[in-house]
Amino acid sequence: MKISVIGQGYVGLSLAVSAAKVGHQVIGFDINQNLISNLKEQESHVEGIELAGIENYIPTNNADDLINSDIVIIAVPTPLDSSRHPDLSFLISACEIISSNVKKQALIINESTSFPGTLRDLISKNIEDSTGLNHLYAASPERVDPGNLLWNQKNTPRLVAGLSDEATEKAADFYSSFCDHVVKVSSPEIAEAAKLFENTFRQVNIAMVNELAQISHGLDINVREVLDAAATKPFGFMKFNPSLGVGGHCIPVDPSYLSFAAENAGIDASFIDLANEINLEMPSYVANRISNDVGGLNGKKVLVAGLSYKANVADLRESPSLLLIDALEVLGADVIKHDPLVANTSPIVTCDVAILAVAHDSINKEALINSAPYIFDCTGTLTNVEGL
């Protein structure tokens, strides 16, 4: 089968390679010319994805290559706009590209995360309106967890639902070619809502544990010990760890898609909005706590180690470390940034305060502990220092 994947970012490239490895002919289309030039040189930008030796994968900027696709998969960004509302412009532009270039009936699958109704009311309408080809449509939201060595595209169950039974069956057949567990659900709206709820569940639980970190500090008890104690209960409890907040392309963004859908339906999603607020405020909580501990930060040298949004990935999108740096600078600190995974950052240097924001394996923890008289650990990795 000829499979075309629109968007060769984290999700699209991983999917394209999985499909190519099981023998499909795969076109990887992206509007980013540098990205495609690198992919043509077999330079992958996704940790753990190797392109050498994969012959039936063709990266391209040329939309003509989408012609005669049997399956077209959309894997473009679905971020928030400046008002923190869904920005669907990439999805709409992907629809325009499909309308103009896919010239025979195809199965069109959306993997981009969006609110219930996106496949039915936005994607299928935008494409059908301009072509009348009667494509088949399915939703299969991607669940990949960057950097997770245990769960990958093969062993993570995949939700699939089409706008028709035929679309569901064809999409399930396709994913079964490289994924062990395909779960068919009754409508695309169920799959879309499940994806948003999975990430909202994380957002809300992380916010709750971050609130507990603040309460525990106020009560002068160690939050990590409280959590370890609670986690000895073998049922009805799931452990989440305190942190500087949530980052990346999914957890800080997807709940706002659910909240937006709720608002459109006239329902107040106050729980989701509150969780979002608590997580967004964590960097300034940490900056203020440190400032109180050291008698103010004005003019002090503060090293922030770990800039990306989570350990062992280089992705800076929505990273709470960046909000922490802003909050420290507002308090007058002279911030030094250290991250072995991010280009052009400083080595660990002597300073007044050192903060472990994200615990990459490649950060030298001993050097960090010795770099300053006051250390703050947001990750629970270091012992005998202040922290969350």
Ligand X SMILES: NC(=O)c1ccc[n+]([C@@H]2O[C@H](COP(=O)([O-])OP(=O)(O)OC[C@H]3O[C@@H](n4cnc5c(N)ncnc54)[C@H](O)[C@@H]3O)[C@@H](O)[C@H]2O)c1
Would you call 351 a catalytic residue per the annotation? no
CB nearer ligand X, residue 113 or residue 256:
113
Instruction: Give CA angle at 277 (146, 273), nearest 5°.
Output: 90
Identified binder of ligand X from the candidate list 30, 189, 192, 339, rule CB under 6 A? 30
CB nearer ligand X, residue 9 or residue 340:
9
CB nearer ligand X, residue 147 or residue 380:
147
Taking the complex as a whole, how short is the minimal distance between the CB of residue 95 and ligand X, in angstroms? 9
Task: Specify the 3-state DSSP secondary structure of 233.
Answer: coil
In b/e form, how buried is each residue of 281-309, taking b as 16+ CB within 10 angstroms?
bbbbbbbebbbeebeebeebbbbbbbbbb
Binding mask 124-143 for ligand X (x = CB under 6 A): ------------------xx
Element (H, E) at 313: none
Q: Does 335 bind ligand X (CB under 6 A)?
A: no
Q: Which residues have CB under 8 Å from 114's CB, separation 6+?
A: 78, 86, 88, 91, 122, 192, 257
Taking the complex as a whole, how short is the minimal distance between the CB of residue 183 and ligand X, in angstroms? 16
Taking the complex as a whole, how short is the minimal distance between the CB of residue 257 and ligand X, in angstroms? 9
Q: Does 62 bind ligand X (CB under 6 A)?
A: no
Residue 187 — φ and ψ, nearest 5°?
-155, 155
Place of tokens 């039915």: 120
Binding mask 141-170 for ligand X (x = CB under 6 A): -xxx-x------------------------
Taking the complex as a whole, how short is the minimal distance between the CB of residue 247 and ligand X, in angstroms? 11
Q: How far is CA 226 from CA 30, 206, 216, 220, 223, in A?
A: 47, 15, 8, 12, 5
Taking the complex as a whole, how short is the minimal distance between the CB of residue 192 and ligand X, in angstroms? 11
Is the four-CA dihedral 82, 86, 91, 92 of positive or negative sign? negative
**From 179, 250, 351, 378, active-site residue:** 250
Identified binder of ligand X from the candidate list 135, 158, 249, 338, rule CB under 6 A? 249
Task: Specify the 3-state DSSP secondary structure of 362.
Answer: coil
CB nearer ligand X, residue 144 or residue 262:
144
Q: Which residues have CB under 8 Å from 24's CB, separation 6+?
A: 1, 2, 3, 56, 177
CB nearer ligand X, residue 248 or residue 387:
248
Q: Could you tell me how many residues make up the chain?
A: 388
Q: Judged by CB under 6 A, which stretch of 7-15, 123-131, 357-365, 379-387 contacts ligand X?
A: 7-15
Taking the complex as a whole, how short is the minimal distance between the CB of residue 270 and ligand X, in angstroms? 24
Contact positions with ligand X (CB under 6 A) in 290-309: none
Dihedral angle, C-alpha 243, 14, 256, 92, nearest 10 °: 160
Distance CA 228, CA 260 (A): 35
Distance CA 20, CA 22 (A): 5
Taking the complex as a whole, how short is the minimal distance between the CB of residue 91 and ligand X, in angstroms? 8
Contact positions with ligand X (CB under 6 A) in 82-121: 90, 93-94, 97, 111-113
CB nearer ligand X, residue 140 or residue 168:
140
Q: Does 123 bind ligand X (CB under 6 A)?
A: no
Place of tokens 């939201």: 141
Give the residue among 269, 304, 14, 19 at the shortest CA–CA distance from 145: 14
Q: Does 8 bind ligand X (CB under 6 A)?
A: yes
CB nearer ligand X, residue 78 or residue 168:
78
**Which residues are the active-site residues?**
250
| Interface contacts to ligand X, rule CB under 6 A | 6-12, 29-32, 35, 75-78, 90, 93-94, 97, 111-113, 142-144, 146, 249-250
